[in-house]
Amino acid sequence: MEIVILKSADEIATVVGDAIEDLLRTHEAPVLGLATGSSPLPVYRELVRRHTEEGLSLAHARAFLLDEYVGLPHGHPESYREVIRRELTGLVDIDESRVQGPDGGSDDIASAGPRYDEAIRAAGGVDLQLLGIGSDGHIAFNEPGSSLASRTRLKTLTEQTRQDNARFFDHVDDVPYHVLTQGLGTIMEARHLVLVATGAGKAEAVAAMVEGPVSQLCPGSVTQMHPHVTVLLDEDAAAGLRLTDYYRHAYAHKPAWQGL
């Protein structure tokens, strides 16, 4: 696990943008994993800027979303498919048919998860999966207590997560109770995990994820077991870490050829 501590969300977005651009320019059929929430938004703005100002193309890429609410009507502005379209995919040159998310409107929710996992496998797997982390340590919607080997499936949101997400809705009562989410086992199959966290509100979860035990109590801690995971933090999100001097030293002396 590589820990990168930078001064701002904009600096993080530049570094992650470089990694995604390198993937797009060096792979014939790159597969991106896209997360929603506030943490990835600066990254998406940077990719849109590179597309509009520098001609970066995503037309040859495919994208898979981490999760989706269950029960929101098609086209609801807070469905994650619409959020991603609004923040990224609708602003660049990737065709809508190449962007796929879990089917939260399926009449057969029980089989929607396995079908989604199969779609990811059929695409060759995710090359770079962008992640955030919740204040309780969840990644995607794998809440505390989730199996570390879980697959894409239906999950019930905790009240904390519903409260956290209420800012996107008119009222907390409008936040769905259920989601379809990639499981921790599904996420861990991506070839490169890139997790972004900013702000003091994420410091406790980040410390548990990076330096705590691997535990269902902090689902994000499973990423300690991944062979290629990069965690990018601002100073506030890194405030609870004990080995920050080493993390800064290692990144400052990292060979350029290694990339992110």
Give the span between the Cα atoms of 31 and 175, in whole angstroms.
30
Domains of the chain from N-terminus onward:
2-254 (3.40.50.1360)
Enter the pTM of the model. Answer: 0.94
Confidence of residue 167 (pLDDT cuts 50, 70, 90): confident
Q: Are 142 and 218 in contact (CB under 8 A)?
A: no
**Is the per-residue pLDDT at 224 higher than 90?**
yes
CA within 13 Å, CB half, 62: 17
Number of H-type helices and E-type strands within the chain: 8, 10
Residue with tokens 């498919």: 81
**Residue 122: how many CB atoms within 10 A of its CB?**
8
Strands 229-234 and 153-156: unpaired
> Residue 164 — very low, low, confident or very high, per pLDDT cuts 50/70/90?
confident
Other CB atoms within 10 A of residue 33 CB:
25
pLDDT of res. 163: 87
Instruction: Summarize the confidence of residues 12-39 as an average pLDDT.
Output: 96
In angstroms, the Cα distances linking 114 to 65, 148, 185, 242, 256 are 15, 17, 12, 39, 39
pLDDT in tens, 88-130: 999 999 999 999 999 998 889 999 999 999 999 999 999 999 9
| Sign of the alpha-carbon torsion through 156, 160, 161, 164 | positive
User: Which positions are annotated as active-site residues?
Assistant: 67, 136, 138, 143
Supply the pLDDT for residue 13. 98
Average pLDDT over the chain, rounded to whole? 95
Q: Which tokens sit at 1?
A: 């696990």
Q: What is the DSSP string of 211-247?
A: HS--BTTBGGGGGGG-SSEEEEEETTTTTT-S-HHHH
Contact status, residue 14 vs residue 234, Cβ threshold 8 Å: no
